[in-house]
Every structure is written in C-alpha cells, then in structure tokens.
Chain A
Amino acid sequence: ELKVEQNPLFLSMQEGKNYTIYCNYSTTSDRLYWYRQDPGKSLESLFVLLSNGAVKQEGRLMASLDTKARLSTLHITAAVHDLSATYFCAVDIIGGGADGLTFGKGTHLIIQP
C-alpha cells in the first residue's frame, strides 16, 4: 500500500521567514505533485515533478524531487500572508492507465504578518 507522509502537518510562521515542507512516500514513483487548497475551495495544481532531480520554482515556492530517497520538498522563501493555505503532496503509481493520486494529510500553513 502506497503511503505518503507530510511533515509538519501544521506550521505557523512569520512573514519574511523561510521554511520547508517535506513529503516522503513509500514506494517507487517518478511522479510527485504539489497542490494548494484554500479553506472551502478546490485543489490548485502548483507543481508536477516527473523525474529524479526535478526542481521547479514559481514565485516564492520551489519544489524538488529525489526519487532515490523517495522525498520531495516544498520550500517557501520570504513567506507572505497570501501563501497561507493547506499544501498537499500526492503521488501516483505508474501503471500505464489513469492512475489515481495518493495524497498526504496536508500541511496547514499559517503565515502571520
């Protein structure tokens, strides 16, 4: 059974600080996804990481993937209040078909002014 673990599950930080969210998964996969969810809203795709060593950046967020370690990180640089949300990582098992995603429990991020 594929397991996806995120930590921390809850993070309160101040504006201007840097922090990293970690996502570990339990089985071989080359595809890792990061989503953002605002309260009561849907899931917004942030990053799709498709290979070992992949690094993607968008604004103050940067995601990376190490498939050997089965680890992805989401790094926040100089946090701003607008980044407050819940962040999910998700993994699929490459089976050649329409694979469902297995999500982590999410990291609830609060950035205080």
Chain B
Amino acid sequence: EPEVTQTPSHQVTQMGQEVILRCVPISNHLYFYWYRQILGQKVEFLVSFYNNEISEKSEIFDDQFSVERPDGSNFTLKIRSTKLEDSAMYFCASSANAYEQYFGPGTRLTVT
C-alpha cells in the first residue's frame, strides 16, 4: 500500500540554523500539507500546497517557513532560522481528492 515517507526521522539543530524537512507524498496525490505537533499537544496545520503554489497557510506559517516541490516527487518544508519553540514533530500529509489526508511518519525536530 502506498505511503507518505519523510526524512529524516529525527533532526537536531542549533538555534538560528536552517533546516529542511523532506517528504515524498503518495505518487498520484495532488494536494500536500505540513502539520506540526508540539510534544503532548494537538496537531496544528501549517500550510497546504496545490498546483505548485500555496493554497492555504496558518498564522504559524510566518516568513521563517517556506515550502517547495523541487521535483515531481519531493515536498519540502524549510525553516530559515530555527527557534527553540520550533521543536516539534512535523508531519507531512497528502491527498488525492482534497479531503482524505494520509499522514507520513513524521520528523522530530529538536532545536537546542
């Protein structure tokens, strides 16, 4: 069964550094999403992407964040200058039909 994959599974970085989180959505899906979950808290929407552009973004997704689909398979989330409060689990999701979303295993980001 096709799955969303994410790399790395765990990323440790120092405050102020740039990080890129990578996702490979399910191959025939057209809609892509990033969410984050701070430890023990609820899942929060960051951004959605369709037709090579951002479709919707939340208040969390400020100028420090960007997304890109550099080729036909990868979908990336970049955080330009990480802060301690960016430490969280970041989930990528994809959808074929803009409603049923399939989540990847997540990348745990630790900012020290």
Contact = CB atoms under 8 A, between A and B. Distances in A.
A98 B33 contact: yes
A52 B100 CA distance: 17
Interface residues of A, number: 24
Interface stretch (A13-21, A41-49, A59-67, A76-84): A41-49
Nearest to B106: A42
B39 to A, nearest CB: 10
Contacts of B48: 97-100
B42 A41 contact: no
Interface in B33-83: 33, 35, 41-50, 55-56, 58
A69 interface: no
A42 B42 contact: no
Contact of B103 (A42, A99, A100, A104): A42
A102 B98 contact: no
Contacts of A45: 100-103
Contact of A103 (B42, B95, B98, B105): B42
A101 B101 contact: yes
A98 B55 contact: yes
Interface residues of B, number: 28
Contact of A95 (B43, B56, B105): B56
Contact of B99 (A42, A48, A102, A106): A48
B73 to A, nearest CB: 18
A88 interface: yes
A101 B47 CA distance: 10
A87 B41 CA distance: 12
A77 to B, nearest CB: 24
Contact of A41 (B47, B100, B101, B105): B105
Contacts of A92: 99
A105 interface: yes
10 closest A-B pairs by beta carbon, nearest first, are A100-B45, A98-B48, A98-B55, A98-B31, A97-B55, A43-B103, A98-B50, A103-B43, A105-B42, A42-B105
